[in-house]
Amino acid sequence: MSKEYQQVWNNCLRVIKDNVPAISFRTWFEPIVPLKVEANVLTIQVPSPFFYEYLEEQYIDILRKTLRNELGTDAKLEYSVVMDNNVFPNANPYTVKLPTNNRRDLKNKPLSLPIDEPKSIKNPFIIPGIQKLHVDPQLNPNNSFTNYVEGECNRLARSAGYAVANNPGKTAFNPLFIYGNSGLGKTHLSQAIGIEVKEKFPDKVVLYVNGNKFHTQFVEAILNNNRNDFVHFYQMIDVLIIDDVHEFIGKEKTQDIFFHIFNHLHQNNKQLILTSDKSPVDLQGLEQRLLSRFKWGLSADLQIADYETRIAILKQKTYNDGIELADEVIEYIASHITTNMRELEGALISLLAQSTLNRKEINIDLARRMIDKLVKNTKREISIDYIQKVVCDYFDMPAELINSKTRKREIVQARQIAMFFAKSLTKSSLATIGSQIGGKDHATVLHACKTVNNLIETDKRFRVYIDEIEKKLKI
């Protein structure tokens, strides 16, 4: 009798294996254990209630055809649901008891199998049930593409994100890996993709979750013996957004579980969007097999916004809030907070709060006082764009001239002074400074700095230029 039911199931598996993707076969059929055959009824053991439901939803047709072929047109299927450690070796097994008369009559339309409510799968977001419509995407509606200002600093990432939102899981950008320093808009952009997907494909299951929250949920699943349910929940998602994936560093079991979830989703053309403070090649402490998968799609970086983009962000914010600010106030904020867009918006909110609470007009003096409080070291917040603006204003020349190819002595000298201050007042590399000031290389920047230092020591008038410009930059 043992050989009979094992042979029946093996014959079914041979056909099924040729008709489903390899990863799906490993995930959904290899864990199944045949138990017995009585008359025309095959009993199989599955590892969770959700496992049963997923088989019923996705694979009932292939099960029906293969089993009929083995047991005849009156073939029936019976499930025994046992939460065991087949998939997760450290899980403690327990059994979900089902009525023994619940069988699948493979001639009829699939029906729901009753399952005791206390044993239903736990949704880590505390949402009753497991139905797709009940999964809250955890998205902030304010983080839309409409509110995301495009600039040179983010054009590639934004364009790729919009392409993904229009065709999730079916572009070459899977996974889409967005990386950059804190405060540059990774969360906003990743959530904008999710919001756009929900608008265009309402039936898609979208979920945003921070890497640390994912880890916490997984630990809770271990403690509650719900590992299988945890995995099966995440395998339902159509568009999974993991923010700050670098939070997985040093957490081997979390990396392992995410590896299996990643494989399942990717194999089934589900979209993955990941964000990190570093590129995949710079992430130390993540398993190589995981890092290699992060490189399958597109890695797009977010850079520090240039002066014009920061101005646009502030104007977008004031427009959305119905507030009017003088251009000199906006320009001052954009000039002094340069590396973190979250701080940029925070400075604007603080300024508005001070004005409202103290009933003061928002002017350049109030802006200066606020920025001085918010930015501990203004020197480090100065941007290359702002340096060029101050130098050009000092020498009363159009900003375009300093970036032109002219070799006029006064223009070359202004360009060299801008390079000198950019090197001393910013953290930018020589190559970055050169590319933003006249499109020069790092050797030109190095030569400019040496020239300015020599002139400071030998030319008193030139030294006055430098002292006066430096004072303006520190205002």
Structural domains of the chain in order of their starting residue, each with its CATH number = 2-109 (3.30.300.180), 155-301 (3.40.50.300), 307-380 (1.10.8.60), 390-473 (1.10.1750.10)
Residue 232 has pLDDT above 80, yes or no: yes
Identify whether the C-beta of residue 133 lies closer than 8 Å to the C-beta of residue 86.
no
> 276 by DSSP, 3-state: which?
strand
Region 109-133: what's the mean pLDDT? 40
Residue 241 has pLDDT above 90, yes or no: yes
**pLDDT-based confidence at residue 328 (cuts at 50, 70, 90):** confident
Q: What pLDDT score does 134 carry?
A: 62
Report the C-alpha gap between 82 and 262 in whole angstroms: 25
Does the predicted TM-score (pTM) go above 0.75?
A: no
Tokens of 261: 């979830």
Q: Greatest CA span in the chain, whole angstroms?
A: 106
Q: What pLDDT score does 226 carry?
A: 84
Bridge-based pairing of strands 33-38 and 103-105 is: unpaired
Phi, psi of 226 (to 5 degrees): -120, 30
Q: What pLDDT score does 316 carry?
A: 81
Tokens of 242: 């993991």
Residue 139 has pLDDT above 70, yes or no: yes
